Amino acid sequence: MDINNTITKILVDKLGIAETEVTPDANFIKDLGIDSLDYAELVMEFEQTFNIRIPDEDAEQLQTINQAVAYIDKKMKG
């Protein structure tokens, strides 16, 4: 499973973000305009899609797509 492509698909399909805006360094809030409610939905989507648990304190650290990819990759291997 390609984590980056899957995250991109979630952002495009679930939150209606243009695929061209989804870059590795894009900040979910500053660059993609995701509000806290969307962010909570995004984290839940990550948990379901990748079958992992993301504690709130970890979720707060995931600010860019790259950070999310690295975190999810580590959790799935862990």
Residue with tokens 């979910």: 28
2, 13, 31, 35: which one is catalytic? Answer: 35
Three-class DSSP category at 10: helix
35 is catalytic: yes
Per-residue CA distances from 64 to 26, 61 (Å): 5, 9
* H-only helix segments in the chain: 3-15, 36-50, 56-59, 65-77
Residues known to be catalytic: 35
